[in-house]
Structure 1
Amino acid sequence: MDVVGLTFGQFSLLDLIEAGLEVTGPADVTISTWSAGFYDVEAAQRFAQLGAIRSIRFVMDSSAKRGQATPVDVAGLFGAESIRVFRTHAKFALLRNESWDVVITTSMNLNLNPRCEQFEMTDDTDRADLFSGFVDELFRELPEGATGDRTVPEHLAFPDVDPQRSYRVGGRVATGPWRRGAPRE
């Protein structure tokens, strides 16, 4: 399964998670977000109470956002053991059970988003393992609950990457207005 799309606010990350759970059945859910709306966090709690979510983990940014649920709010609803807080802008969700390994990557936060946002939903064990492994490391290294810490993890057990580029960047960059029929550089 691989679904890619754009929305102008017709649906949210919460809607994608709910639609995914309708397909997968009860699953273990991980949500990484920069900000979260009160409605969305409370809806996730209702999903858990109804049995659609077997377990849930949150990774959230530690900065305060006006009118949004704070990490303290999330810890209050789901327990301090279910959240890790640090400096992040990553937005993704995992829905995993015995049959499914759904990864949702998106520009959406876990809140109302009345603007153009992109998403991709994929059922891919290797990709889910990558994201889940990252979150597992965060949960090992960072203290549980909403610490408000503005740091980044220091000891994640991920190997360093030496990027290899198969392209060369160079040449002259043209600036200014483009005219139809004018040669491009």
Structure 2
Amino acid sequence: MRLILLGPPGAGKGTQSARLVKRYGIPQLSTGDMLRAAVASGTPIGRKAKAIMDGGNLVPDEVVIGIVAERIDEADAQRGFILDGFPRTIAQADALADMLAAKGLKLDAVIELKVDQSKLVERIAKRAAETVAAGGTVRKDDDPDVFKTRLAAYNRDTAVVSPYYRARGMLTEIDGMQSIDDVTAAIENTLERLDERVATR
């Protein structure tokens, strides 16, 4: 099962990915984790990424794709994987498709968690206020201003990936404003239907 989970910050991708990892026994792959692991392991592409990052530059798409390509060749990803936070652009989506095709692989599903962004902002603001009222320190990710900045970046740069997959008939949209358990059930129903289609081919 090779999946991409799409959705803005705060949509619940991390929560749902963790449940899918447990259910299907496949790894969740985030580009940040993969970059850090590649740098730590000192692979040729990891050394290249380190040199770029040490220079204060963004890692280019071809290096990121190379790191994803290396990671999905590892033993734990042979039965599938969940890509979280990647692809972020149309260029990355094209490069991912080419890389998978070169390996004789393809994506099984692209699932987008659709959410009301104004309600996400309200939820984050409420959580921050409750943390402060309880005498705690607000995490950076729960700072409403930081969250709004991340949301704006998503809308500017990454939201275009959904129409890309929709145009190819690969996108399934799920209401991310439901309860966590209902979202999980909707994702599992989607994947079960997919399994049935594959089995009848």
TM-score (normalizing by structure 1): 0.30
Larger radius of gyration: 1
Bigger proportion of residues as helix: 2
TM-score (normalizing by structure 2): 0.29
